[in-house]
């Protein structure tokens, strides 16, 4: 029963629980229900002290019926179907209003019927009603609990035949039980919110890792496959006019293929050795095979060590796009301590803003930098990556 919750407007909030969690919720509900049965025993003790004969028997029957309905409500709550899951949903066993309020109304009637036989001790049954209300709804619970506590305090004093003063113990018990039940239900809500948060974190981590793998595979294979394609085409064109050069290009294709395989294996093992010097050397060979004049730095010592890897990825992506899309005749790379700029005199904008550039933006943003890409006038394309304040001179 403690798993029946709402959002504050009186209606239950549906939530999806896996089997193990649902079992945990069920036994907690059973524990709460069993604890509430103690109040039925206390009320039955009141009947034994204040009633005799047929009156006592009637009181016992009424209290037994109250306990049976309470147990039945617990069984209904434990067996109620769980709704489909969704982000932001809280833990709740989905009881309809009829499934909850009809048994509650029956128990309320039995509580009133037990008062003439149990007298002041009959208000211990009101503590059960208060516990159920605070678990079910937040909006009406203060009024219901307050009304039951006031009745538990005033009625024993107002009914002179009971020969009892104000029911302080009963009133305090109603309030205390309501507070305990509220804390119990809030603990269940907090635990389920924690489970949902953990599940969401795991989902986001999985999605982020999937995106990282896709980005890295593009960065690793995009450059190598472009170089292989260019060199294979060049070897095909030279096959008849310059067989020796053609065989040399085929050898380069084999070398690049082995290199790409090694990079993929390194990526799978979560280890990749990407250096700026190596990417400039590869880029120079790629541009040469593409017929592009390469104006690339011959040294990288002016680049901060912390920026070497990210700028190496930027050089790889930029030069791959030049070879693949730009149809340029010349390409220039400028380096500084924390920046790289790649320019070409091609068609400009042909590289677009595809997956490679998007992946580069993500990688640079994670390093605290920025990426600028756009056409040059009167022709060409510029890719600029900055990882912080520029330091040192450009190469």
Render 122-138 in DSSP notation, one character per residue. Answer: GGHHHHHHHHHHHHH-S
What pLDDT, on a 0 to 100 scale, did the predictor assign at position 369? 92
Residues 199 and 278 placed together within one structural domain of the fold:
no
| Residues near 31 by beta carbon (within 8 Å), at least 6 away in sequence | none
Asked, for residue 242, whether it belongs to a domain, the answer is no
| Residues near 263 by beta carbon (within 8 Å), at least 6 away in sequence | 220, 221, 224, 272
What pLDDT, on a 0 to 100 scale, did the predictor assign at position 106? 92
Instruction: Give the 3-state secondary structure of residue 6.
Output: strand
What pLDDT, on a 0 to 100 scale, did the predictor assign at position 76? 76
Domain with 101 in it: 19-204
For residue 31, what are its two tokens?
């524990």
- How much is the mean pLDDT over the chain? 78
The better pLDDT of the pair 317, 3 is held by: 317
What pLDDT, on a 0 to 100 scale, did the predictor assign at position 342? 94
Mean pLDDT of 367-392: 83
Asked, for residue 126, whether it belongs to a domain, the answer is yes
| Residues near 303 by beta carbon (within 8 Å), at least 6 away in sequence | 276, 311, 335, 336, 337, 338
Euclidean distance between CA atoms 3 and 52, whole angstroms = 39
3-state helix, strand, coil in the chain (%, to 5): 65, 5, 25
Please say which residue of 176, 204, 232 terminates a domain: 204
Residues 53 and 187 placed together within one structural domain of the fold:
yes
Model confidence at 33: pLDDT above 50: yes
Residues 39 and 181 placed together within one structural domain of the fold:
yes
For the chain, give the number of residues: 395
Residues 297 and 193 placed together within one structural domain of the fold:
no
Asked, for residue 388, whether it belongs to a domain, the answer is yes
Q: What does the DSSP 8-state code read for residue 124?
A: H
Mean pLDDT of 347-351: 60
Asked, for residue 213, whether it belongs to a domain, the answer is no
pTM above 0.75, yes or no: no
Task: Give tens-digit pLDDT for 165-193.
Answer: 788 988 899 999 889 888 887 887 787 78
Please say which residue of 162, 184, 204 terminates a domain: 204
Model confidence at 137: pLDDT above 90: no
What pLDDT, on a 0 to 100 scale, did the predictor assign at position 164? 77
Asked, for residue 231, whether it belongs to a domain, the answer is no
State the total domains in the chain: 2
Mean pLDDT of 100-128: 90
3-state secondary structure 258-274: HHHHHHHHHHHCCCCCC
Residues 180 and 298 placed together within one structural domain of the fold:
no
For residue 95, what are its two tokens?
């009881």
Model confidence at 61: pLDDT above 90: yes
* Nearest Cα to Cα of residue 41 among 121, 111, 117: 121
CATH of the domain at 304: 3.30.565.10
pLDDT band at 30 (very low <50, low <70, confident <90, very high): low
Residues 54 and 195 placed together within one structural domain of the fold:
yes
Residues 52 and 137 placed together within one structural domain of the fold:
yes
Q: Please tell me which of 46-50, 90-94, 236-240, 387-391 the model is most confident about, judged by mean pLDDT.
A: 46-50
The residues facing 251 across adjacent strands are none
CA 299 to chain centroid? 45
Task: Give tens-digit pLDDT for 269-326.
Answer: 555 567 888 889 888 888 888 888 999 998 888 888 888 889 998 998 899 888 888 8
Residues 142 and 289 placed together within one structural domain of the fold:
no
Asked, for residue 216, whether it belongs to a domain, the answer is no
Residues 43 and 187 placed together within one structural domain of the fold:
yes
The better pLDDT of the pair 247, 88 is held by: 247
Residues 182 and 292 placed together within one structural domain of the fold:
no
Euclidean distance between CA atoms 390 and 361, whole angstroms = 19
Euclidean distance between CA atoms 296 and 23, whole angstroms = 66
Q: What is the percent of the chain with per-residue pLDDT over 90, rounded to a whole number?
A: 13
Please say which residue of 164, 184, 204 terminates a domain: 204
Q: Are 82 and 11 in contact (CB under 8 A)?
A: no
Asked, for residue 5, whether it belongs to a domain, the answer is no
Residues 194 and 296 placed together within one structural domain of the fold:
no
Residues 285 and 395 placed together within one structural domain of the fold:
yes
Asked, for residue 123, whether it belongs to a domain, the answer is yes
């Amino acid at each position: 029963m403690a798993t029946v919750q709402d959002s504050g407007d009186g209606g239950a909030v549906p939530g999806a629980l896996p089997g193990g969690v649902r079992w945990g919720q069920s036994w907690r509900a059973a524990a709460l229900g069993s604890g509430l049965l103690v109040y039925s025993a206390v009320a039955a003790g009141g009947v034994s002290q204040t009633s005799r004969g047929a009156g006592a028997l009637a009181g016992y029957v009424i209290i037994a019926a109250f306990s049976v309905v309470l147990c039945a409500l617990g069984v209904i709550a434990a067996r109620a179907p769980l709704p489909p899951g969704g982000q932001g949903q809280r833990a709740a066993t989905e009881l309809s209003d009829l499934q909850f309020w009809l048994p509650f109304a029956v128990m309320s009637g039995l509580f009133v019927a037990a008062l003439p036989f149990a007298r002041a001790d009959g208000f211990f049954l009101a503590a059960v009603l208060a516990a159920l209300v605070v678990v079910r709804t937040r909006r009406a619970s203060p009024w219901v609990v307050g009304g039951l506590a006031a009745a538990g305090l005033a009625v024993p004093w107002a009914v002179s035949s009971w020969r009892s003063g104000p029911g302080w113990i009963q009133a305090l018990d109603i309030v205390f039980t309501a507070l305990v039940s509220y804390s119990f239900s809030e603990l269940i809500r907090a635990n389920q919110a924690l489970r949902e948060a953990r599940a969401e974190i795991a989902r986001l981590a999985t999605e982020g890792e999937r995106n990282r793998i896709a980005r890295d595979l593009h960065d690793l294979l995009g450059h190598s496959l472009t170089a292989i394609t260019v060199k294979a085409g060049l070897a095909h064109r030279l096959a008849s006019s310059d067989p020796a050069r053609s065989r040399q290009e085929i050898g380069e294709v084999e070398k690049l293929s082995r290199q790409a395989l090694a990079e993929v294996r390194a990526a799978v093992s979560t280890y990749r050795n990407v250096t700026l010097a190596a990417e400039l050397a590869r880029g120079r060979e790629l541009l040469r095979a593409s017929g592009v004049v390469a104006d690339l730095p011959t040294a990288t010592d002016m680049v901060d060590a912390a920026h070497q890897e990210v700028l190496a990825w930027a050089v790889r992506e930029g030069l791959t796009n030049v070879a693949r899309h730009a149809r340029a005749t010349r390409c220039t790379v400028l380096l500084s301590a924390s920046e790289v700029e790649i320019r070409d005199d091609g068609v400009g904008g042909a590289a677009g803003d595809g997956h490679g550039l998007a992946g580069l933006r993500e990688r640079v943003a994670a390093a605290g930098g920025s990426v600028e890409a756009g056409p040059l006038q009167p022709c060409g394309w510029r890719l600029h990556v900055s990882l912080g304040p520029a330091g040192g001179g450009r190469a």
